[in-house]
Amino acid sequence: MSSTVQFQEISRADLDTPNTQKYAEKFRKGLTEEVVREISADKKEPQWMLEIRLKALKIFHKKKIPTWGPDLRKLDFTDIRYFSTASENPNAKTWEEVDPEIKRTFERLKIPEAERAVLAGVGAQYESENVYHNIKKEWEEKGVIFEDFDVAVQKYPDLVRKYFSRSVPLNDHKFAALHYAVTSGGTFLYVPKGVKITQPLQAYFRMNSMNQGQFEHTLIVVEEGADVHYIEGCSAPKYGSQALHAGCVEVFVEKGAKARYSSVENWSKDTYNLNTKRALVHENARMEWIGGNLGSGVTMLYPCSILIGDNAQADHLGVAFANTDQNQDTGAKIIINGKNCRAKIVSKSLAKGGGITTYRGLIDIKPHAENATVNVECDALMLDDKSVSDTIPHITCDNPTASMTHEASAGKISEEVLLYFQSRGIDEETAKGMIVNGFLDEIVKTLPLEYAVELNRLIELEMEGSVG
């Protein structure tokens, strides 16, 4: 089996090298009501959208920084550029129309290649705006909508308004409020009743300039009996100065529908990734979250599934890798209200060079949730003595018919296993790489082949120099 997308060729330079950022000077730093109004005016938004923004801004100022989890005291809200655009020509339908320098960036990240080979549609966001957005004709003809979120607000205001902020409310937490105040770009994906999309759709988010903030909103609606796989990738160059990502993903999985959301987040190590993802899962529907978190200095991300219908299901599969100066605080939230619901969480984390990984999980089984089944498995691998790993599960169960298991393991690479590899002639570095890949295999193999290769490649880049 040979992949036509050469993700294994991606190098550190492809991810870390910035383009020109002169355009950014036009946009000021800091967060004021004026900035919020300017963003809204720039997009020529309807009044209701502006009202949501202003309301959210007030909540943001009122809410306190979380007192739990990683230390966010160094995050300086005044030294972030909340909105900037680099391109004269947003939302191009062909790559030829995309600014050549920006196009080259996405080519280095293999996005057009992947689009040709395996995807049903692609969105490419650069700073605050989508520079490219396209869906293959056959799916468009079936009524699938795949648009830049800002465009969708204009083109499908009623549809957007019906779902927007219905799963993640403005006052959910400080960064959700911030997100709604300055949101820009993102994806609107609507799959009509009964349409099963056989190829995944992908959006790629790239931050380019220093001290940039990215606040894209992803809204996915999967109507009754429909089926979709949506993939997100993200990266940003490294400057040694803070950047902020506070995106929001809302997924609505209607009766008997199925949604799979996969993401590989690889922000630069200067980035605070404070992201919110939530799915409302109806009767007989199924939600799958597959996430790889490799980048960012600080990540706080706990995808959430709310199982509101009977027989609803959720799978959360997550990989986190924390290297030097990285704190990956990730996990899952499952709230069950329907009868006979099932949820599974598999979390695998790797810590190296003094990195910190934490699994933080919340499971809440409500009084009406008869016969709920929840299985949690979290495994942590520490690659040296300096690195740290924690597991913080929180379980509330208000129904006695629930069945729950929680398995956790934390440890280092077994010396016996390492010796076994070496006794077969395999050198230490290769052996460690293979053992780490094997540790993650259960999750990586759920990704389409091309993305499994990409994730393995990104892990390989992190593993370099792991033999001291």
Partner 1 sequence: MLNIKNLHARLEQKEILRGINLQVNPEEIHAILGPNGSGKSTLGRVLVGDEKYEKTEGKMTLEGRNFDEMDSAERAQAGFFLSFQSPPEIDGVSAKELLLAAKKALDKDFRSSFRLKKELSENLKKLHLSDEFMTRDVHKGASGGERRKMEMASLLTIDPKIAFLDEIDSGIDVDAMKAIATAIQEFMKRKGKALILVSHTEKLLQMIQPTHFHVLCAGTIVQSGGQEIMERVHQCGFCDFIQEKKKNSQLKVVS
The residues that touch partner 1, with contacts defined as CB under 8 A, are: 414-417, 419-428, 430-431, 434-435, 437-442
- Cβ proximity to partner 1: between 64 and 424 the closer is 424
| Separation between Cα atoms, residue 15 and residue 327, nearest integer Å | 20
The distance of closest approach from Cβ of residue 458 to partner 1 in the complex, given in angstroms and rounded to an integer, is 17
CA distances from 316 to 145, 251, 279, 308, 446 (A): 26, 14, 11, 17, 11
- Cβ proximity to partner 1: between 253 and 443 the closer is 443
Q: Taking Cα atoms as reference points, which of 277, 279, 270 lies closest to residue 252?
A: 279
The distance of closest approach from Cβ of residue 219 to partner 1 in the complex, given in angstroms and rounded to an integer, is 35
Give CA 392 to chain center in angstroms: 21
- For 29, half-sphere exposure in the C-beta direction (CA atoms, 13 angstrom radius) is 13
- Cβ proximity to partner 1: between 113 and 384 the closer is 384
- Cβ proximity to partner 1: between 16 and 460 the closer is 460
- Cβ proximity to partner 1: between 204 and 321 the closer is 321
The distance of closest approach from Cβ of residue 407 to partner 1 in the complex, given in angstroms and rounded to an integer, is 14
| Separation between Cα atoms, residue 430 and residue 56, nearest integer Å | 49
Q: How many residues does the chain have?
A: 468
Residue 468, C-beta contacts closer than 8 angstroms, at least 6 positions apart: 384
- Cβ proximity to partner 1: between 1 and 13 the closer is 1
The distance of closest approach from Cβ of residue 414 to partner 1 in the complex, given in angstroms and rounded to an integer, is 6
| Separation between Cα atoms, residue 104 and residue 110, nearest integer Å | 10
Q: Taking Cα atoms as reference points, which of 263, 366, 367, 261 lies closest to residue 314?
A: 261
Q: Taking Cα atoms as reference points, which of 106, 193, 102, 90 lies closest to residue 149?
A: 90
- Cβ proximity to partner 1: between 297 and 448 the closer is 448
The distance of closest approach from Cβ of residue 265 to partner 1 in the complex, given in angstroms and rounded to an integer, is 22
- Cβ proximity to partner 1: between 107 and 442 the closer is 442
Residue 346, C-beta contacts closer than 8 angstroms, at least 6 positions apart: 315, 316, 317, 318, 377, 378, 442, 443
The distance of closest approach from Cβ of residue 346 to partner 1 in the complex, given in angstroms and rounded to an integer, is 13
Q: Which residues pair with 329 in a beta bridge?
A: 300, 358
The distance of closest approach from Cβ of residue 385 to partner 1 in the complex, given in angstroms and rounded to an integer, is 16
Residue with tokens 């991300």: 301
Residue 84, C-beta contacts closer than 8 angstroms, at least 6 positions apart: 23, 24, 26, 27, 127, 128, 209, 212
The distance of closest approach from Cβ of residue 451 to partner 1 in the complex, given in angstroms and rounded to an integer, is 17
The distance of closest approach from Cβ of residue 441 to partner 1 in the complex, given in angstroms and rounded to an integer, is 3
| Separation between Cα atoms, residue 387 and residue 109, nearest integer Å | 30
| Separation between Cα atoms, residue 454 and residue 456, nearest integer Å | 5
- Cβ proximity to partner 1: between 76 and 407 the closer is 407
The distance of closest approach from Cβ of residue 181 to partner 1 in the complex, given in angstroms and rounded to an integer, is 43
| Separation between Cα atoms, residue 226 and residue 255, nearest integer Å | 9
CA distances from 431 to 411, 417, 424 (A): 17, 9, 10
Rg (CA), the chain: 21
The distance of closest approach from Cβ of residue 1 to partner 1 in the complex, given in angstroms and rounded to an integer, is 11
- Cβ proximity to partner 1: between 101 and 441 the closer is 441
- Cβ proximity to partner 1: between 381 and 402 the closer is 381
321 with 350: CB under 8 angstroms?
A: yes
Q: Which two tokens stand for residue 45?
A: 């938004």
206 with 105: CB under 8 angstroms?
A: yes
